Chain A
């Protein structure tokens, strides 16, 4: 992968962040309220880490519009950002604020809610244990740690991503007492934080609190994880949930499978929770236009500089199950015996079967959705995988 492609993949994190902001503003995800504190700080640090003033100006316009122009205009003044009045921002949202389409909002809600639900299941079933861990691969600017960590005292949360991403997130967290307090950290005074391009360049991208860790690494280079000082904080013997929310789908087939095997070999009691698109199967549906969905998606993504190398390779539920059976379901290894389980469903199934009917009722009232068929079509091209193993 070239730097350009890495960058395009990194931008998908902003795309997801923008979708989650839209969901929050529409009322789909009220628990995500700290997103309003995180985003302007991320924009600020992203802007000042831009070297050329002209680029910075252009980028600032793009970022503002990516986040629906809802933030007050001067995003280069951190003192102003820290004093933003969220209620005032919210009061300016009206029906003409061009948020994401209802279809994207509902899909984002589904993804966010169903993954969070599985995380909470994992934490709740292990809440009597001394220690449990979450490892989030390519976590980007996920806001879940802010509302999940405070709920579970025995939980350690690890977020792994490119160093530029972890650096900006660390800076945003340390700038805001609201954000840092949820992670058992103290915020730093602004004078102790970098505010120039050069200072940010040399700023340490790692962050560790008693239960929260930002680990800069390249998930394609397993040595960058193994040789990382922070790797020692990960305990291979406690129950661990490894999340990939649209992360490993950007890796090549070999890189993603090596990464899965890497965790399979290092942890004794863990489960993968994976959300990613599936391109569908063109081979055994004769003469059916259904088959074009994956190819159209590949073309559309190439247009944005993004590749999803395994979209077709693991394009169906069965192919994903087969994949994880091969990688995870190794019952007997080095004379150790494991209990392994593989589960995979498409997101239409998840929507129909796992989302609380009262909550569907609640979100149905938020905005009219004129796109059931399209939503069903798209949801049937995303899947949720749970693959667990446990040393017996």
Chain B
């Protein structure tokens, strides 16, 4: 029997969760997610969060600021894993909350919740490093296939003016929320098509209509398309993530769309602040920004870098700092630059 409270404590301390527990958690997660629709209906108030990208310590800070579930209700817009050094723990922390309070936390799919992307951007490597096998990666990827593609946040005072939430943006193939509801989502994120677009597209001020995205997947869409979609679907706002914004959030198109970014000092390098968006029961918006708590605490430790088992310090970095007492052997945060 899973002891979710113990797992919650362990994950927060960055301790390794046994592979079997992860497998069991992912199976339980599937049972919950399979019942959620492509566009999950959520009652306000809710706190909307953008990309996290394996920055566990900043996620813990985020929960301190917004109050831990079940005290507050959360919607995470995807991209839980990759890039940061703690993707496993980050995803497991979100998953434990989901298992404990399925109606107090909602997770939708980002373009990084995919086998192909995680094999390039770090999650796969991290699983191999921490578990010596790809099993944990596989369990998580199977669960990713069940994640909702979007969410609709209801206005408690009216049937109109809700908020549509998605990781990336709109698709030229999708005019209405109902069309999104028809997608068969239980699959790896495709390379193109409407499901791919929802997870990959970006808004762009300078563009009329649609343009191909420089990312190699999805589209760029402008104000006209956004207004059309808002009007057709009687929405007041599209809330999305997917793009780094230095100030944590950025509203576009007269407040019809917002990008929320919740990974402060992204990749331990970008120097940006992060934000969360609280919607009250009338869907009034309140943004809270926060900075990374990770750097100072952890950088201080890393100058005395020879404390890791048998790692002769010749000045070459890239070894693994192995902690004591069963902690995760985590890669020391060495940030890449062009040197």
A246 touches B339 (CB 8 A): yes
Q: Which residues of A contact B124 (CB under 8 A)?
A: 96
Q: Are A373 and B215 in contact (CB under 8 A)?
A: no
Asked if B44 is an interface residue, CB under 8 A from chain A, the answer is no
Are A372 and B215 in contact, with the CB atoms below 8 A?
Answer: yes
**Cβ proximity bits B317-339 to A, threshold 8 Å, 1 near / 0 not:** 11100000000000001111111
Cβ contact within 8 Å between A58 and B121: no
Q: Which residues of A contact B267 (CB under 8 A)?
A: 374
Cα–Cα distance between A312 and B236 once the two chains are bound (Å): 43
Residue of B nearest to A6 (CB): B315
B316: contacting residue among A59, A98, A301, A365, CB under 8 A? A59
B111 and A370 form a contact (CB under 8 A): yes
Question: Which residues of chain B come closer than 8 Å to A150, judged between CB atoms?
Answer: none
Q: What 0/1 pattern do residues 348 to 392 of A give for CB contact below 8 A with B? A: 000000000000000011011110111001100010000000000
Which residue in A107, A304, A374 is a CB contact (below 8 Å) of B317? A304
Contact string against A for B residues 150-190, beta-carbon threshold 8 Å, 1 for contact and 0 otherwise: 00000000000000000000000000000000000000000
- The reply on A190 being an interface residue by CB < 8 A is no
Whether B280 is near chain A, meaning CB under 8 Å from some CB there, is no
Chain A CB within 8 A of B193 CB: no
Tell whether, in the assembled complex, residue B314 and residue A58 are in contact, meaning their CB atoms are under 8 Å apart.
Answer: yes
The answer on a CB contact under 8 Å between B338 and A107 is: yes
Given A101-B336, A288-B246, A374-B266, A368 and B117 contact (CB-CB distance below 8 Å):
yes
Q: Is A336 part of the contact surface with B, judged by Cβ < 8 Å? A: no
Report B-chain residues with C-beta under 8 Å of the C-beta of A63.
Answer: 316
Residue B265 lies at the interface, judged by CB distance under 8 Å to chain A: yes
The reply on B41 being an interface residue by CB < 8 A is: no
Contact B295 A8 (CB under 8 A): no
Query: Across the interface, which residues of A come within 8 angstroms of B252, CB to CB?
Result: none
Is B28 on the interface with A (CB-CB < 8 A)?
no
Is B288 interfacial (CB-CB < 8 Å)? no
From known contacts A292-B272, A293-B270, infer whether A370 and B246 are also in contact, taking CB-CB under 8 Å.
no
Stretch in contact with the other chain, from A9-17, A222-230, A320-328: A9-17
User: Are A4 and B268 in touch, CB under 8 angstroms?
Assistant: no
Task: Please determine whether B120 and A95 come into contact, CB atoms closer than 8 angstroms.
Answer: yes
Q: Which of A8, A15, A55, A293 contacts B271 (CB 8 A)?
A: A293
In the assembly, what is the distance between CA of A289 and CA of B216, in Å? 29
On whether the beta carbons of A292 and B121 are closer than 8 Å, the reply is no
Q: Is A102 an interface residue (CB 8 A)?
A: yes
A277 contacts the other chain (CB 8 A): yes
CB-based contact A372/B214 at 8 Å: yes
In the complex, what's the smallest C-beta–C-beta distance from B190 to chain A, in angstroms?
13
Is A108 close to B, CB under 8 A? yes
Give complex CA distance A293, B315 in Å: 25
Residue B303 is within 8 A (CB to CB) of chain A in the complex: yes
Q: List 20 A-B contacts (CB under 8 A).
A: A7-B315, A12-B339, A15-B339, A16-B338, A59-B314, A101-B336, A288-B247, A289-B246, A289-B273, A296-B269, A299-B299, A300-B299, A305-B303, A306-B339, A368-B120, A370-B112, A373-B245, A374-B267, A377-B270, A378-B269
| Additional A-B contacts beyond A306-B339, A373-B243 (4; CB < 8 A) | A14-B316, A95-B120, A290-B271, A296-B265
